[in-house]
Amino acid sequence: MDVLSDAVTAMRTGRPVAAAQSWAAPWGQRFAAVPGAVGLQVVVRGECWLIPDGDPIRLRAGDVVLLTDGRGHALADDPRTPLQPCEMPTNREISDSGGETLVLCAAYELTDLRTHPLLRTVPDLIHRTGSRAVRTLIELLAAELEDGGDAASIGVTALVDLLFLHTLRAWSAEHGEPAALTDPAVRAALDAIHAGPERPWTVAALAQLAGLSRAPFARRFAELTGQPPLAYVTWWRLTLAARLLRESDAPLRAVARRVGYASEFAFAAAFKRRFGTAPGRYRGAV
């Protein structure tokens, strides 16, 4: 069970927006802040500079920048070039005018209500030099956009997710995974919860899986995830339910059973406490 992948996929809201455009020097593009969004900037061809709040960062073909807090930033051929507001193609296709630098931009919205505690340690800006896997993903995403795939297409959605997850994994491999994923006892419990959210979990059952007695397990779990075990179970069930409501037309009773609620009424009450709206209204609004 890939807990990190599971968490990222479930907390995403809406569909990714993806587009690509080329520029010829001199050029400078300012990207406005979008609160709640995660952005990816991928250099497909050429070179440019990322201009965040701090020092400029040089980017080369195959480089990926992950911005996790929706911050405003800029890209330019040179840090001294004047900046203009960026206007990406509205049809979300490749707009290649033959400029020296081709950049692929992708973003999707995350919600604080579903942000996984394991991701709270990830920095606001991650810069990775493209590996072979990343270059392959870049080529596939560019081809999907060039062939007319828009932000709602399955191909674009899947490839943006993979780029995001691969970048996170590469960063984790270098800097270490969140402590909750490296602690054997807590990881065993997390894997079990994610694999079977519908099971009638108790602290005692999770502690047994973790190989610890009840009190030490509950204390360690809360320290490393930020939530007591059963609070995490409820949090994950409702997070998964929100994903199912967004991505499927399954009846509410089926969603309720899938995430461990014996009745549709109990599920609806818990969902409304968490998200402030009934499941049916939530589904109609996304």
Per-residue pLDDT tens over the stretch 85-103 = 987 654 455 555 667 898 8
List the single range of 84-98, 142-156, 244-258, 262-276 with lowest mean pLDDT. 84-98
Would you state the pLDDT for residue 156? 74
Residues paired with residue 64 on neighbouring β-strands, in sequence order:
42, 128
Instruction: Return d(Cα 48, Cα 54) in angstroms, integer.
Output: 16
- Could you tell me how far CA 259 lies from the centroid of its own chain? 21
DSSP 243: H
Q: How confident is the model over 34-79, as pLDDT tens digits?
A: 776 778 898 988 999 999 888 999 999 889 998 877 788 999 999 9
Instruction: Return d(Cα 47, Cα 235) in angstroms, integer.
Output: 43
Q: What is the mean pLDDT of residues 22-33?
A: 90
Environment class of 257 (CB within 10 Å of its CB; exposed 0-12, middle 13-18, buried 19+)? middle
DSSP 262: S
Residue type, 179: A
Q: Residue 200, preceding bond cis, omega within 30 degrees?
A: no
Number of Cβ atoms within 10 Å of the Cβ of 209: 15
Parallel, antiparallel, or unpaired: how do β-strands 57-60 and 47-51 relate? antiparallel
pLDDT above 80: residue 82? yes
What pTM was computed for the model?
Answer: 0.71
Quote the tokens at residue 37.
Answer: 């969004």
Within 8 A by CB and 6+ apart from 94, the residues are 19, 20, 21, 142, 145, 146
Would you state the pLDDT for residue 131? 77
Residue type, 15: R
What domains are there in the chain, each with its CATH number?
Answer: 3-175 (2.60.120.280), 181-285 (1.10.10.60)
Q: Is 56 helix (H, G, I), strand (E, B) or coil?
A: coil
Instruction: Return d(Cα 141, Cα 206) in angstroms, integer.
Output: 40
Q: How confident is the model over 221-233, as pLDDT tens digits?
A: 999 888 899 999 9
Within 8 A by CB and 6+ apart from 125, the residues are 52, 65, 66, 67, 68, 71
Within 8 A by CB and 6+ apart from 175, the residues are none
Nearest CA to 149 out of 16, 286, 8 is that of 16
Instruction: Return d(Cα 115, Cα 238) in angstroms, integer.
Output: 12
Parallel, antiparallel, or unpaired: how do β-strands 12-23 and 94-95 relate? parallel
Would you state the pLDDT for residue 231? 94
Q: Is 226 helix (H, G, I), strand (E, B) or coil?
A: coil
